[in-house]
Structure 1
Amino acid sequence: MASTPVEQEPAARRGRPGYDQQSVLTIAVDVFNRHGYEATSMGVLAEQLGISKSAIYHHVPSKGDLLRLALDHALGGLEAVLTESGATEGKADARLEHVVRGTIAVLTERLPFVTLLLRLRGNTTVEREALERRRSFDRQVSALVDAARTEGSIRSDLDPRTITRLLFGTINSVVEWYKPGGPLTAEKLADDVVTMVFDGLHRR
C-alpha cells in the first residue's frame, strides 16, 4: 500500500504568477467540498481562482490529478500514523490509543482534505483506489483492536469490526462540526475522544 509521510506536503509545482500547485490544490479542495467533485468543472475552478482554465494546466494536468493529490495528502497522513513507533511498539491498547490520537491530529490538521476523502462515492478510478486504501487502514485498525482483545486489555465481548466502525464513525463525524482555531483544541478533542472510548472499552 502506497504511503505518503505525514509531514510531507503535496509536491509544489511552479506555474502562473500568484499561484503554485499547493495553493491551487487548497482552493480546489474547498470548491470540491462545497459543490461536490463531480459538479465542479475546470471552469468553476478557474472562476474561483481568478485565472483561465488553460492557466490551471500550468499547475496540474487535470481535475482528476487535483483529486488524486488531495486524497494522497489525506490518506498519506493517516497511513503514516500506523507506521509510527507508538502504533507498532508496546501493548496493543496503548498502540490503539496512539492511532486514535494520531488520526484526530491528521483530521484536524488536514480537515478539508479528510472531509473530501470521507465524501467519496467511488465513481472514478482515483476515488475507488482511495477508498481501497481507506479500507486497508480500517482493516489494520481492526487487527489492532483484535490484538488488544486477545491480550485482555479491552473487552472481548464486542466484535473488533464493530468497535472499529463505531470508533471511526465518532472520529469521522468531527469533520461536520469541528472548527479549527476555536476554543476546542485538537489536543483536548483527542483527550475527550480517548476518555469516552476507552472508559467504555477497558476492563473494570
Structure 2
Amino acid sequence: MATPALHPGRSRNFHHLRGRYLDEVDGAPSSSAYRTRFGSLLRAYQLVGFSPDRDYRYVEVNRALRRLHPEIVAQAMAGIRDVGGAVEQDPATDLLTVNGEFTVSIVLARCQETPSGTVRWHIRLDTGLAPDITVAVRMAPGNASIRDYYLLPRRDATLDRLRIGETNDLLLEAFRFDTLDALADLARRVSIMEAA
C-alpha cells in the first residue's frame, strides 16, 4: 500500500494519520476504501506496521459487540416464545414488546480495565425509548463472552448511563442474573388455577 503524499506543512508523523486526513489527500483512496478493503482503518494501519499512540482495540470490540447484539436479541425472543410468551421486535429500534404488556431493550456493556487493574462497565440506558425493562448484558473481561445480565426496571433506570463494577450495591445486585431465563420467566403465561 503506497503512503499518501503529504500536503506541505502537514506533519509527517504517522501518529497523526486519521481517516479524515486520508480523505483530504488528493489522489489517495478514501478512508472508506481502506475500510472496505481491509475491514477497518486500524487493520490497514496494522498491516503496514503502524502502531498508534492511543489504544484503539475498543473499536474492534465495539464492532464485535454490534455483531453480537442481534444474536442476543434472538436468544431472548426464543426464550420468551419457549415459555409460551409472545414477543414482537420493532425493526427500527430493536425494542421488544412482550405479551403486549411490557417493553424490553437489550444493551451490551463492554468490560473495561482500568489502569489499576480493576474492571468496570458503562451501561447506556435507552431513555429515549423508555423501555419497561433494560436487559444490560455485561461482557466478561476480554469481551469475548458474556459474564451476566442485569434486568433493570424503568423506575430504577432514571439516568441515561449507569457505571458498575465487579461488586455493586445490593439493590443493584438484586437485578443480576447468570442467564436470560429470568426474562423468559417474566413472560411466562400462567393459568389462573396455577396462580391461585
Q: Shared fold (TM-score greater than 0.5)?
A: no
Relative contact order higher in (CA < 8 Å, ≥ 6 apart): 1
Q: Which has more radius of gyration?
A: 2
Task: Choose between structure 1 and 2: higher helix proportion.
Answer: 1
Task: Choose between structure 1 and 2: higher strand proportion.
Answer: 2
